[in-house]
Amino acid sequence: SIAILLYLSRKFKTPDHWYPAELQKRALVDEYLSWQHTTVQAKGGALFIDKMLLPIFTGKPVPAEKMQSLTEELNVVLNQFEEKFLQDKPFIAGTEISLADLLALEEIIQPIIVGHDPFEGRPKLAAWRRRVEGAVGQQLCQEAHEVLLNPSNI
């Protein structure tokens, strides 16, 4: 939850890069946090629900055309993410990781669980992922994503 992330960053006086005090950088973080609900989160979530959950509940696979449409919709928002938020910067708010990058990684990585790798064929997005994981810590990211990266664990 964004509210929880903001609360924790304020309560524990985290390093400034997580939620910058400088207004322009904070605005970039806030812009992404507001944008992601109806874009990355919605499109990635729809792909997960339709590919994994609907077949469980209905006993029928989702038509290939529907899955293709959902994948295309996700690709549109990933393009927007790269063009609008990443541009040519290492992270969303500039040169340091922020809460926006952390949340973005968690949203973007989720379709992997249903066999769709959003980083495949996207060198800019893949490089950004490596930077985020490096800033957070490779070991911690591997532990956090263990279920997503190994769906057989579910």
Model pLDDT, residue 142: 86
Q: Distance between CA atoms of 86 and 79, rounded to whole angstroms?
A: 10
pLDDT, tens digit (0-9, with 9 covering 90-100), for 58-115:
999 889 999 999 999 999 999 999 999 999 999 999 999 999 999 999 999 989 888 8
Instruction: Write out the H or E segment, with its range, that includes residue 35.
Output: helix 23-35
Q: What is the CATH architecture of 1-148?
A: Up-down Bundle (1.20)
Q: How confident is the model at residue 26 (pLDDT cuts 50, 70, 90)?
A: very high
The pLDDT score that the predictor gives to residue 153 is 56
Q: How confident is the model at residue 1 (pLDDT cuts 50, 70, 90)?
A: confident
